[in-house]
Amino acid sequence: MSGHSKWSTIKRKKGAADAKRSKIFSKIIKEIQIAVKEGGADPEGNPRLRLAIQNARGANMPKDNVTRAISKGSDTQNYSEIVLEGYAPSGVALIVECLSDNKNRTVSNIRAMFTKRGGKLESTGSVSYLFDRKGIFNIPKAGINQEEFELSMIDAGAEDIEDAGDMFILYTAMEDFGNIQRKLEEMNIEPENARLQRIPNISKNVDIESAKKVLNLIEDFEEDDDVQNVYHNLEMTDELLKHLG
């Protein structure tokens, strides 16, 4: 590979990484703003804002960006939380969580994406029963006494604690999310990321080509500025992961 070609590849990769980081920051800023709008600008009395700030730190968002988002929160436009459900053409269930200042625009855009890829937007409740809402915390191991940490987390409501190299991944029921958050604060442990996530209780196994089409649809959703999270029940088999490289 020539030097010029190599530099072009590096620039493309950096551009893609910068775009992805910008998209993540935009989602977090929107979450901060709606948290301030709902519960005020004091993180101590606003758990949703506290969580959004934690996630901003985990994403290495500059402190100035966070401060600006908080200060503008009470003046920001009224965002609505919209949860849309549907199926990919292979029968894979999809849930798309949005924050939008224009519900009609958002629903129209998501419906068009489903249709373009051969899927279908369904009514509320059509696929949500296939998912359980769980709290997930990514917690760096550094400086943590594992035995003490695990006992404290189990007492606070942790359902499972996964050892993931330099990180603990903690799972809890949605109703115990706040208990875990408060316990971590008491222990002066700051998670890299904490969120409520929809975990599929039934996975769908499809062939490689169908799986790629589902992932293309998910990518379309994630590129939309109104979309915060996309959940699916596609089974990520070893064969599929190998094909994705």
Structure tokens at 129: 């029963």
Does the domain at 78-245 match CATH 3.30.70.980? Answer given as: yes
| Angle subtended at Cα 131 by Cα 127 and Cα 137, rounded to the nearest 5 degrees | 145
Shortest CA distance to 110 belongs to which of 221, 30, 23, 34?
221
Segment (H or E) for 221: helix 208-223
Whether the model pTM is above 0.85: no
- Find residue 82's DSSP bridge partners: 98
What are the residue ranges spanned by the domains of the chain? 3-73, 78-245
- For 124-137, the pLDDT digits (tens) are 999 999 999 999 99
Contact 121, 184 (CB under 8 A): no
Q: What is the pLDDT along the chain (245 residues), one digit of tens a residue?
A: 333 343 333 333 434 455 567 778 888 888 888 888 888 888 888 888 888 888 888 888 889 988 988 887 766 667 888 999 999 989 999 999 998 889 999 999 999 999 999 999 999 999 999 999 999 999 999 989 999 999 999 999 999 999 988 999 999 999 999 899 889 989 999 888 888 899 999 999 999 999 999 999 999 999 998 999 999 999 988 888 887 76
CATH topology of domain 3-73: Arc Repressor Mutant, subunit A (1.10.10)
Structure tokens at 31: 């979450």
- Do the domains 78-245 and 3-73 match in fold? no
